[in-house]
Amino acid sequence: MTPSIVFLGTGNADISLQKNTASVLIQLDKTNILFDIGRGIANALFRYGIRQDDLEHIIISHFHTDHISDLLPYLHSARQSGDKRTKPLNIYGPTGLKDFMLKIIGIMEYLDLEKNPFEFPINTFEIESNSKVVIDNHEFEFVSLPPANNHGLKFSVNDKTVAITGDSYFHNEEKEFVNNSDIAIIDSSHLNSDEIIQFDKQF
């Protein structure tokens, strides 16, 4: 598979007919990795042809609703015969991810939560801020960015460095994060035009 980056959403928390919440599908070799799964992203994956068993890795930048809300329908759908998951689902995120997953799964109290209500393994990995995580031999830096507990993702592919933010605000940490990257994917909804132009000058 040629490496590719697919924009499944480019919006923010505003309900919109044009834009899903910000989310990027990273395709490296035979591995699909999803960065954030807010509103509209479960449908967007399906529309793009990514079925449950095609995606084994989801990284969450932070726990704001517009970055995580479709995890609930996505998990429920994985149990259904229409697109039943058999492969493990590995979920990576900031400290607090394990508690967060218990809450998300706990919402589905109509399932028998005493037993595992899913026929596939769900593995959760809390990543310390500013550390690295390796997924299928690909290394990702999980970089702390304001606001609190927000993170960006940095990785290299074909000698190019890619930096993707969770929420983007104009501050020095953000400038440093995108500095020297070949491709920077920023969430523009929290920035004005002047600030975006200044980010552009980083390259």
- Point out the residues that are catalytic: 66
Cα distance between residue 27 and residue 57, in whole Å = 11
Q: Tokens 């609703």 sit at which residue?
A: 65
Q: What are phi and psi of 15, to 5 degrees?
A: -70, 130
Closest approach, Cβ 167 to Zn ion, in A, equals 4
Q: Is 195 in the site for Zn ion (CB under 5 A)?
A: no
Closest approach, Cβ 53 to Zn ion, in A, equals 30
What six digits make up the tokens of 198? 């200044």
Cβ atoms 173, 166 nearer than 8 A: no
Q: What are phi and psi of 104, to 5 degrees?
A: -60, -50
Question: Which among 45-53, 59-67, 69-77, 136-144 is the span making contact with Zn ion, rule CB under 5 A?
Answer: 59-67
Q: In terms of CB distance, is 56 or 167 closer to Zn ion?
A: 167
Q: In terms of CB distance, is 57 or 67 closer to Zn ion?
A: 67
In this structure, the number of other CB atoms found within 10 A of the CB of residue 153 comes to: 25
The closest alpha carbon to 134, from 22, 42, 59, belongs to 59
Q: Tokens 């429920």 sit at which residue?
A: 76
Q: In terms of CB distance, is 121 or 147 closer to Zn ion?
A: 147
Question: Which among 34-42, 58-66, 122-130, 184-192 is the span making contact with Zn ion, rule CB under 5 A?
Answer: 58-66
Applying CB under 5 A, the site for Zn ion has a residue count of: 2
Coil, strand or helix: which one is 131? strand
Q: What x-and-dash track marks residues 139-168 binding Zn ion by CB under 5 A?
A: ----------------------------x-
Closest CB to Zn ion: residue number: 64
Q: What x-and-dash track marks residues 60-89 binding Zn ion by CB under 5 A?
A: ----x-------------------------
Q: What x-and-dash track marks residues 16-55 binding Zn ion by CB under 5 A?
A: ----------------------------------------
Cα distance between residue 60 and residue 114, in whole Å = 26
Q: In terms of CB distance, is 64 or 85 closer to Zn ion?
A: 64
Position 80: which residue type?
A: Q
In this structure, the number of other CB atoms found within 10 A of the CB of residue 23 comes to: 27
Closest approach, Cβ 65 to Zn ion, in A, equals 8
Residues at the interface with Zn ion (CB under 5 A): 64, 167
